[in-house]
Amino acid sequence: MTIAIYPGSFDPITNGHLDIATRAAKLFEKLVIGVYKTPTKHPLFTPEERVELTKQAIVGLPNVEVKSFTGLTIDFAKKVNAQVMVRGLRMTADFEREFDMAMMHKKLLPELELVCLMATLKYQFLSSSLLKEVASLGGNIDDLVPQPVAVALRKKFIVKLDSERGA
């Protein structure tokens, strides 16, 4: 059985992430989405919230599961017996970063193969950071994220705005 991992912070998962996961699920017998618990950026959602939102997003994908992890991605790959790591590429800057990470992963775990999927054209611009910024300012993000994520983002920013206003 070919097992692939799709690691990331998923803060939150977007339709771009979901598109990559859906396409990867067709290529591999099992896909494990690895939600990194301690990203270097300051996450909006807790690890538990990110895992739950990701689980809700992949409901229609029977060969996909979601797990959280800490530490090195290669250790997570070993833990779930993955032979392949899936990454999405949006633009040239993504390629440069992914290339550097791929070379390090290859050094640390030579048997782990990397498969990069090009982002679908309509999601080329989409990032979780940009999405959170638009949502924080009240922009409509409904067609950019799974419905549970849109609801969770609205709740987060309503609470944040209320606390800033002293409500």
Quick one: pLDDT at residue 98?
87
List, by residue number, the catalytic residues. Answer: 17, 41, 90, 128
* Residue 54 pLDDT class (50, 70, 90 cuts): very high
Residue 167 has pLDDT above 60, yes or no: no
Instruction: Report, as an integer, the average pLDDT of 127-152.
Output: 93
Instruction: Report, as an integer, the average pLDDT of 108-132.
Output: 93
Integer CA distances (angstroms), 139 to 2, 130, 134, 158, in order:
40, 11, 5, 13
- Which tens digits make up the pLDDT trace of 92-102? 778 888 889 89
- How many Å separate Cα 125 from the centre of its chain? 15
Question: In CATH, what is the architecture of 3-124?
Answer: 3-Layer(aba) Sandwich (3.40)
Residue 165 has pLDDT above 60, yes or no: no
DSSP the chain: --EEEEEE--TT--HHHHHHHHHHHHHSSEEEEEEESS-SS--SS-HHHHHHHHHHHTTT-TTEEEEEE-S-HHHHHHHTT-SEEEEEE-SHHHHHHHHHHHHHHHHH-TT-EEEEEEPPGGGTT--HHHHHHHHHTT---TTTS-HHHHHHHHHHHHHHHHHHHT-
Quick one: pLDDT at residue 75?
97
Quick one: pLDDT at residue 114?
95
Other CB atoms within a 10 A radius of the CB of residue 27 amount to 13
Other CB atoms within a 10 A radius of the CB of residue 101 amount to 15
